Every structure is written in C-alpha cells, then in structure tokens.
Structure 1
Amino acid sequence: MSRFRPGRVLGISVGTLVILMIGVYGPATLLGPLPSATVTVTAPNSAVPASTPVLPAAGSSGLLAVTAVDDTATDDTATNDTATGGDPVEPAPATLGVDTIAIGGGSDPVPMASAAKIITALVVLDAKPLAAGEPGPAYSLVTADYQDYLDYTAQDARTVIVFPGESWTEREMLQAMILGSSNNHADTLARWAFGSVDAYLIAANAWLAANGMPNTTVVDANGLLDGSAGTGTDLARVAGLAATNPVVADIIAQPASALVGQRGVRNTTEYLPEEGITGISRSYTDSGGVCFLFTGTVVAGEKAFTFAGAFLGEPDYDTLTADLTALMASARAGVTELPVLAEGDGYATLTTAWGDSADAVVATPKTRFGWQAAAGTDPVVTLDDVTTGRAGAKIGRVTVDAFGESVSSTLELDSSLTDPGPGWRLLHPVPVVSALVASW
C-alpha cells in the first residue's frame, strides 16, 4: 500500500506548470500577435480658415459654386492637385456645385419676378433640347401670342412686339424672353413646348422638385404673379443651372441687337460687369422688389473661381449696387489657393502598449482654389489596425470638406513603431494573450 507524498505531488504540479509555461506560454507570448496601437484623433493647426461672404440682411439670397469638371486622376502619385505647367489644356466644362456657399436674409419663399423666366427657359430646353448657336425649330405665332403682347403692354409690363403669323425660332423666342425679359414670349414658349401654360406649370413644378429646389413654386411662366416665389438658395441653383446650360450661357454671352424683322431687343441682364458680375435675370415688381440672378467671377493669377447667386427682395437698385459691390469685395478677399491637406500635418497619434508613439501624417499634399465660406466639417480619419510599422508606411486616409467637396489623402507613419522584443512579451502576458484571443 503506497503512502501519500505531498512533496511528490507538489513536484509533479510544478513540473507540469513549467512544461505548460515552456510549451504554451512561451510560444503564445513570443510568437503571438501584438496588441494594436491605440489611436487618438488630432486636428492640425493648418485647418482651412473660413472667409464669410457679405450678403444682404433683407430679402433672401444665396450663393452656389460653379466649378470646372476635372476628369484627371486624383491618386497619390502626384505632388498636388493643381496644374504645374506644361502644355495648355482645353478649359474644363462647367458644372454646378453640390453645396451652397452661403445664404442670407430670410428662409421663407419670396416673389421672384422675372427669375421665373429663367425657370421657363430651362424647363423648355429640357423638353425641347437645342444645341448652342443653333436656331432650333420655327414656330408661327397665332392670335393668342399677339393678344398676350397687347395685354402685357397695357399693363406696362416688359414686352417684345410680335404679330400673328410671324415665324420665330426657338432660339429667337428664348433671346426675347431672357435678354428682353419679354413677358409675352414666356407665355408663347410655354404654350409652344407644352400645349398650354397650365401644362407647362405642372412640368415646371415637377422639374423644380426633381432638381433640388423644393421651396420654389411657379404659378405663371413670367413671374408677374406673387405666387411664383422661391428662396435665395433655390434661385441660386437656378442661376447656376442657367450659367452651365450651353444655350442660355451662349445667349447671355452673345446678346442679340435685333430679332425677327430687325426688331430691337435691349439686354436687361447686364449689370456691374466691371465687378466680375454676369447678369442672368434682373427685374423689379412692387411686391418682390429687385430680383437679380447672376454669376460672379474672381480671377487670381491664372485661375478663376465662379459662383452663382440670387438676390431677391432688394428694395431698390442703389441697394442692389451696394450689396453686389460688397459681395464681390468679400469674394476677392476670400477666394484663394489653400493647402487643404498640408504635407506632414498630423491627424492621429498612435501609441503602442510598450510605449512607442508615432503620428499619422498627410503623405501627399492637396490644395484647392476657391472660397471657403464656412468652417469645414471635422476630418474623417480611417486607419488600419497598426501594431508595428516603418516610418512612411501607409496606414489609412483622411478626408476633409473644402469648398463644398470632399478632399482626401493617404496618411503615413512619421516615425517607426518597432517590435518590443521577447523581454517585453514575456513580462506582459495579458496584452499579448488578449491579442492572441482576439485574433481567433
């Protein structure tokens, strides 16, 4: 009969523990994965500063960027996003920005006056497309078109004279409406394109909703009725759509001195061109005040920045002049080339469990030319799980908002995060084993 020997049991237990430590603990700590570095998101001091546009306090106003489409690659092999010389390139086509630069005045819809005619032009061109410079189909005016001319003339509203049976091309009707602000041609175009003004109104309001202008409604084709109303934000989009429409832009850039039968038409759109302003629609009504759709352009060196704008409800033309002059002064002060993502700027700090630290910094600088009218949103930082890495290793991306668009660049380590070595691993089993378990 054997005797119980506590020493032998203790020895076996210790031996088993040693074997387990050598066979399991050692490999687990020496060969297992390291815990990922902790990440602290930071903000660099070189954030893009805001430069506020000067907008009227009264009425309703809005500004929207009109930018050039850049179809070139935007990978991180280039030194920046701007042209640096070489052969001249064709100007990029214009497109409308997504985000509003700024808004002013009230947020409720106000009467838009002849800005409604620009909506008519865009809706008609959507239904009856026309190439820039081409006359388009011809239309023989009927008695209703002549009666419109007589009625609006009797109301002392703007008209361009017509006679029954005259043939007007689509382009000529658009020129009379846009340049001459002809109220009778607005109705004629609506009937020609849609069969009736009522049918046009259904199509126009659907078009407004589909094009991101939910706070704007038209109840006529020419804006004489107060029910045709909108906000500065929506009407700035209308101005931008007009400025980027090849036909409307061509008509405004090349105003006709005469139309059918050498009939004179005075250009009502031009206003303060010396300030860099291109008028799109300018009008006055007793209830709506002065309403002006336009684009403004600021040139700095070899670059130009264009924005679309709408000023609705200005009390008089002296106030309009003063407000536009102040706006363009603020634009010249605010439009510039800015380092949106500066090389070496840190957007996160990575710290390992063994005390190493490195910053995630911008690898490729990104610049933008434009108007940062409002403070940008917080940067969005996306990082891989990092344990160790050499200086310069790509570990993620940062994305910021600048001039209404998203700009991003690769983030890299500014210094190395090294392996802590076997000593640290053996002496710190908890984080090592935890990383091992997490990897299963």
Structure 2
Amino acid sequence: MSRFRPGRVIGISVGTLVILMIGVYGPATLLGPLPTAAVTLMTPDAPVAASTPALPAAGTSGILALTPVSEAADAADTDTAAATDGAAALGAAPIATGGGAEALPMASAAKIITALVVLDAKPLAVGEAGPAYSLVTADYQDYLDYTAEDARTVIVFPGESWTEREMLQAMILGSSNNHADTLARWAFGSVDAYLAAANEWLAANGMGDTTVVDANGLSDGSAGTGADLARIAALAATNPVIADIIAKPASALVGQRGVNNTTAYLPDEGITGISRSYTDAGGVCFLFTAAVTVDTETFTFAGAFLGEPDYDTLTADLTALMASARAGITQLPVLTQGDAYATLTTAWGDTADAVVGTPKTRFGWQAATPGEAVVDLDAVATGRAGSSVGRVTVDAFGESVSSNLKLERTLTDPGPGWRLLHPIPLITALIDSQ
C-alpha cells in the first residue's frame, strides 16, 4: 500500500514549475516581442518668413496666390485648366490681408463681378465673339446719362450690333458704365434680375461679405472686403476670356473707338491691372495680379486695394508691396531636416526623437506657417539611428507635403536581465502580437 509523500508532491510541483519557466516563461520573455515605444507628439518651431507682405494700413486689401494664366493657356484643355485654377482661387485662403475687415465701396471692381457672372451664365471660348446684340433705346440712354454725370462711357448708337465679347471689352478695358448695364440686361433680362443672380453667385462662392447693388460700382452700396475682392481678381485672372481681353491692346475695342486701357498700372513693377477706378466714396480701387521671378521660377498672386485716398498713395503702397514680394518670395522651408515631430520612449527608459529625414521646400511667399502636422508612425520597439519610423504630412500653400521620419538616435534592446524581471509588459506584448 503506497503512502502519501508530501515531499514528493512538492518536488514534482517545483520541478513542473521550473520546467514551465524554462519552457514557457523563458522563451516568452527572452525571445518574445518587446512592448512598443510610447509616442509623444511634438511641434517644432515654425519657419520664419523672409519678408511678410507690406499692405496698406488704411482701407481694405488682400492678396491671394494663384496659378499663372500662362499655365492655363498652355494646357491642352484651356477651359478645363482655367476652371481648375478658378476652383483653387475660390478655395484658397489669402496670403495676407490689410486694413479693416469691413466692406468698402468697390467702384469699378463691380464690373469684374459683372463680367464673371455674365460669363457664368453666357460662356464664351477664347477668341469667340459670342452672340450679337442690337442696342435698344435704353442702352443709348444709359450712354447719355452716364456721359452727363462725367462717368466713364464708351459711345454707342441705337440699333448698332455688339457681340458679347465686344461688350465685355468695352466694360473691362474701357470701364464703360453703360456697357455694364447693357450686359446685365442682355444676359439676365433686367439689371434687377442680374443683381439677384450676382449676389446669389457671391454668396454661393464664399464671398458673403461682398454685395452689389448695381452692375458698374457707381453706387456706394456695391461694397466688398479686400479678401473677397482679391479672390475676384484671382478668378478674373484665371478666366481665359477675361485674361485674353486684358492681354489685348485697347485698339481691340469694337470700331477702335479711341478708348484707352484703363486697367494698366505700374507694369514695370510686374503688375497687371484688372480694374482701376476712383469714386468719392470708395477712393482709388485697384484689382491686379503681380509676378515675381526668382531664378527660373515665377510666383504669381492676385490682389485688391480698396479705399486708397489717391493715386500717389496707391503707387507708394504697390511699390512697397512688390519690394516685400521680391524679398519674401523664395524656396520656403516646409519640413526642415532634423526637426522633431515625436519622441519615442521605451518601457526600459530609452528615448529617441522621430525627425524629418528628407527636407521639403516649396517656392512661394510664406505669410502663414504650414498647417497642423499629421504624424503617422510605425509601431517601434527598437531601431538604429537613421532608420525610418513613419511619415509626417502638412498642408502648405494649399498643397499636401510629406516627408519620412527617422530615428534621431538608436533604441536598443534592453537585454535578458530586463526581460526576465519584467514579465507583465512582455507577456502583454506577446498577446498583442497574436
């Protein structure tokens, strides 16, 4: 008859435990996966702009980056390319704004809105004349009335025929107040119907701070902000029909009626005027584009200055703006090599920063810092200095820019001693890996 031997049971239990430790615990701790490093995100110092835009303290103003018209003109599908650029102009934030944020009388900048809204309703291809319109008594009376008020006009006669393109030429190049009304009536049936459509168009395109109460801007109630009107200038510059009209000499006007191009101003500074006008309430109002070339790259932006007291002030302010543009437009750092976007800390106390491995720059004018970074890191426990551990992406000047992230220093294996003494994090890591 066998007898119960406690010592033997204890020995078996101890032996079993030792076997389990050697066969399971040892491999689980010594050979199993390590817990991944904890991640702490970081924000490096923002790059410093070489020169911020110089904008007037008075009035209201704004500038907006845009794709040069020449790129749209070189595209295989010009209308599609221009539409894409126009969409970009609508979605882009201004590079900078100046003066006040309240809407001010916009003078003849309202005619550029008229041109955009009419072309939206009655599209033209570049070089196309469009449908012809026979002027009626109301069109001739507008000419007489505006001439009597000493407002800008282009002469017309009852019954003569003008094409859509010719009417746009007279309104844009000659700043013809009577042609603005004629275009509005022709495209929408009445000026009131045009105004309803134009204000709906402004609101739908994110320019709710701007309102028109006439087609030509003679009324003080047609008012807008510098930010909105810079967007109008960008849309006009990237509209292939308007850009083509502005690029042509004034002699392109119907009948070569001796009308000067009212839009041109300071071309030697790299400025192309889109609309230039003066009213007592609005002061000098100017919509324009400007270009700065550095080496082989050109940066083009659209701008609006409203409420300038006189042309001497406009000249001084535009000259200052272009000087700041030439100083500030360059290859701008977006993601700088060595900048840390995260710190990795292991359970055994090693730390290493995740830093930008490949620098990224963009040609432009940095008035605002790149947007918030999106960091996508791999699960890392150990790794050599310089090894890739993920990517960082930022929005810069309307473009998504990405670069790889690398370990700034080595994260080492903690060794068998740490592994054997820290079973819980190791077993947790093993379970998580299954």
Asked if TM exceeds 0.5, the reply is: yes
Residue in structure 1 matched with residue 58 of structure 2 by the alignment: 58
**Greater Cα offset, 289-298 or 41-50:** 41-50
Residue in structure 1 matched with residue 49 of structure 2 by the alignment: 49
Residue in structure 2 matched with residue 133 of structure 1 by the alignment: 127
Equivalent of 2:292 in 298, 311, 335? 298
Residue in structure 1 matched with residue 245 of structure 2 by the alignment: 251
Residue in structure 2 matched with residue 336 of structure 1 by the alignment: 330
The Cα of 1:39 is off from its aligned counterpart by 2.4
The Cα of 1:368 is off from its aligned counterpart by 0.8
Contact kept in structure 2, 1:258 and 1:264, CA below 8 Å? no
The Cα of 1:437 is off from its aligned counterpart by 4.2
Residue in structure 1 matched with residue 95 of structure 2 by the alignment: 101
Identity of aligned residues (%): 79
Unaligned ranges ≥5, structure 2: none
Map of 1:71-220 to 2, 5 A cutoff?
95=85, 96-97=88-89, 98-220=92-214
Residue in structure 2 matched with residue 430 of structure 1 by the alignment: 424
- Residues of 2 paired with 1:100 and 1:304: CA distance? 18
Q: TM-score, normalising length from structure 2?
A: 0.89
Contact kept in structure 2, 1:46 and 1:342, CA below 8 Å? no
Residue in structure 2 matched with residue 375 of structure 1 by the alignment: 369
Runs of 4+ in 1 over 6 A off after TM superposition: 1-6, 89-92
Q: Secondary structure at the match of 1:311?
A: strand
**Greater Cα offset, 8-17 or 24-33:** 8-17
The Cα of 1:9 is off from its aligned counterpart by 6.0
Residue in structure 2 matched with residue 26 of structure 1 by the alignment: 26
Contact kept in structure 2, 1:48 and 1:376, CA below 8 Å? no
AA partner of residue 18 (structure 1) = V
Map of 1:293-372 to 2, 5 A cutoff?
293-372=287-366
The Cα of 1:255 is off from its aligned counterpart by 2.6
Aligned alpha-carbon RMSD (Å): 2.7
**Greater Cα offset, 28-37 or 364-373:** 28-37
Query: 1:229–1:382: structure 2 CA closer, same or farther, 3 Å change rule?
Result: same
- Residues of 2 paired with 1:305 and 1:33: CA distance? 52
Contact kept in structure 2, 1:29 and 1:426, CA below 8 Å? yes
- Residues of 2 paired with 1:302 and 1:270: CA distance? 25
Q: Secondary structure at the match of 1:161?
A: coil
Q: Secondary structure at the match of 1:257?
A: helix
The Cα of 1:57 is off from its aligned counterpart by 0.9
Contact kept in structure 2, 1:360 and 1:411, CA below 8 Å? yes
Equivalent of 1:402 in 381, 390, 396? 396
Contact kept in structure 2, 1:62 and 1:236, CA below 8 Å? yes
Contact kept in structure 2, 1:48 and 1:338, CA below 8 Å? no
- Residues of 1 paired with 2:395 and 2:48: CA distance? 9
Q: How many residues align?
A: 422
The Cα of 1:250 is off from its aligned counterpart by 0.9
AA partner of residue 191 (structure 1) = R
- Residues of 1 paired with 2:244 and 2:169: CA distance? 10
Query: 1:378–1:259: structure 2 CA closer, same or farther, 3 Å change rule?
Result: closer
**Greater Cα offset, 22-31 or 238-247:** 22-31
Contact kept in structure 2, 1:26 and 1:426, CA below 8 Å? yes
Q: TM-score, normalising length from structure 1?
A: 0.87
More helix by share: 2
AA partner of residue 34 (structure 1) = L
